[in-house]
Structure 1
Amino acid sequence: MAQDLRTRIRRGDLLVGTFVKTPSPHVVEILGHAGLDFAVIDQEHAPIGIAQMDMLVLAGRAAGLPLLSRRWGGAKDWIAPLLDLGLDGVMVPHVLDPDTAEAVCDAVRFSRGKRGLSPSPRAGNYGGMGLAEYRETSDARSIVMLQIEDECALDHLDAIAALSDVDMLFVGPADLSQSMGVAMPSPELDAAIERIIAAGRKAGVAVGLFVGDPAQIAGWHAKGVSLFVCGSDQAMLRKAASRMMADLGG
């Protein structure tokens, strides 16, 4: 039986996925058949609602592709409804401090006693799981990825990474460079990413990174990054179409 994504993250496997910005189940299905390790549905930068998420999760399950959601919002009440659909976890933008990280963990883990409990949704096999089984299964498989993409968060890395329910510190390099007022790429940004890697290594927490080009993966993997979100479905489509036209002299 294939191991779940959270187990693979915590083991430190090299994992490669992409953002999905197009609310089409077919896109998710294709990416699953292409062999990606996971995909993140980008509700932060794309117009994707919860009804569309429902269909994307069905496609992910059909193709064996683990899915997470990234969504903007200071409140964390959006997390549980998405996990009820059967998502494997969440990637939360702009986590600035341990208090924000705690709030995310509260919204994900039943063991913290603050997430509404009902096995009636898809994640509970539509009532096929008992309460205890659903709690245990969900808490064992649900992934908490916290995005570090603000300069002020760098001063709280150890406290954030020390939380036992955090599975990953995920670096958003574009926003981090903007917050720091430096170029992307730049030595200053690289140094900040390496600080995040060091904090993850110290706490035994995996570190992930967005890259726009798969050629960047090997170098950062050698430095300790284990999970990569590479580009997006739309970027892949645009690049392939542009390359085709360029090859034709268009």
Structure 2
Amino acid sequence: MQDLRSRIEAKDLLIGTFIKTPAPQIVEILGEAGLDFAVVDQEHAPIGIAQMDMMALASRAAGMPILSRRWGTSRDWIAPLLDLGVAGVMVPHVMDRTDAEAVCDAVRFSRGKRGLSPSPRAGNYGGMTIQDYQHNCDASSVAMVQIEDASALDHLDDIAAIDDVDMLFIGPADLAQSMQVGYPSDALDEAILRIVAAGQKHDKAIGLFVGNAAHIPDWHAKGVTLFVCGSDQSMLKSAASSLLPVKGG
């Protein structure tokens, strides 16, 4: 079975969701449902590293890779999560090449800046040699940089040209807010297509958040290959709300 990074590089159509509930059972359920991946949203939900530990364990049990998204101007939060065995990180508000290089420094051992110990789960608790651990992590860890600021649109070429960046992931709500345009709007769609074009120029995969799965086919046809659709909470609320007409009838 291909790992998530290989599937991203192959431009497979991948569909996942955000997880905002700090519970390993959510990871198991979504894995059983057959999603390709999930992103644990540490940026907008109360999920700490101890909870991430259990969710990473559930990820292995369910056979569904998870990534973490977490806010922070420094990148020192990245390596501890990769040590837990998460498949990668989605880093918000990457503005330029300097930001993107800092993300890659935190993800890849080959850059000589990530702290090294094969003792965590990702190193099979010391069961790997240092060399194997470095190689396996660098080969499989996903570095997604989020493009969600108007200023980042002027640096797309520099960001996409970095070899260790695996994906440009578009955050449409923040991007629309930064551009001061509607969400949705034609102006936002044009900006998204600019990001897609920059990715295609440098053979980089493009990801996009969508609130509705009905939007996936159109954006896939335009070059987006990975989609985060809604969240565990939005799915639960939608399913619960669908019961109310039965009660009213």
Give the TM-score, by structure 2 length.
0.99
**2:204 matched to 1:191?**
no
Gaps of 5+ in 2: none
Match of 1:240 in 2: 239
Match of 2:65 in 1: 66
Match of 1:216 in 2: 215
Question: What CA deviation, in whole Å up to 9, does each residue of 1:211-232 have, x standing for no partner?
Answer: 0000000000000000000000
- The offset of 1:160, in angstroms, is 0.1
Gaps of 5+ in 1: none
SS at structure 2 position matched to 1:95:
coil
Match of 1:86 in 2: 85
Gap change, CA 1:247 and 1:197, over 3 Å in 2: farther
SS at structure 2 position matched to 1:100:
helix
**2:40 matched to 1:41?**
yes
- Superposition pairs of residues 100-115 of structure 1, within 5 angstroms: 100-115=99-114
SS at structure 2 position matched to 1:166:
coil
Match of 2:29 in 1: 30
Match of 2:123 in 1: 124
| 4+ runs deviating over 2 angstroms | 246-250
**Aligned counterparts of 1:248 and 1:221: Cα–Cα separation in 2:** 38
**Aligned counterparts of 1:198 and 1:246: Cα–Cα separation in 2:** 44
Question: What CA deviation, in whole Å up to 9, does each residue of 1:20-57 have, x standing for no partner?
Answer: 00001111100000000000000000000000000000
Q: Which amino acid aligns with 1:90?
A: V
**Aligned counterparts of 1:218 and 1:248: Cα–Cα separation in 2:** 34
SS at structure 2 position matched to 1:248:
helix
- Superposition pairs of residues 138-177 of structure 1, within 5 angstroms: 138-177=137-176
- The offset of 1:246, in angstroms, is 2.6
- Percent identity over the alignment is 71
SS at structure 2 position matched to 1:74:
coil
Q: Which amino acid aligns with 1:101?
A: A
Give the TM-score, by structure 1 length.
0.99
SS at structure 2 position matched to 1:81:
helix
SS at structure 1 position matched to 2:177:
helix
- The offset of 1:248, in angstroms, is 3.1
Q: Which amino acid aligns with 1:183?
A: G
**Aligned counterparts of 1:12 and 1:187: Cα–Cα separation in 2:** 26
Q: Which amino acid aligns with 1:55?
A: M
- The offset of 1:244, in angstroms, is 1.2
Question: What CA deviation, in whole Å up to 9, does each residue of 1:3-26 have, x standing for no partner?
Answer: 100000000000000000000111
**Aligned counterparts of 2:147 and 2:210: Cα–Cα separation in 1:** 14
Question: What CA deviation, in whole Å up to 9, does each residue of 1:120-156 have, x standing for no partner?
Answer: 0000000000000000000000000000000000000
- The size of the alignment, in residue pairs, is 249
Match of 1:182 in 2: 181
- The offset of 1:69, in angstroms, is 0.1
Match of 1:230 in 2: 229
Q: Which amino acid aligns with 1:17?
A: G
SS at structure 1 position matched to 2:12:
coil
- The offset of 1:245, in angstroms, is 1.1
**Aligned counterparts of 2:167 and 2:132: Cα–Cα separation in 1:** 25
Match of 1:16 in 2: 15
- The offset of 1:247, in angstroms, is 3.7
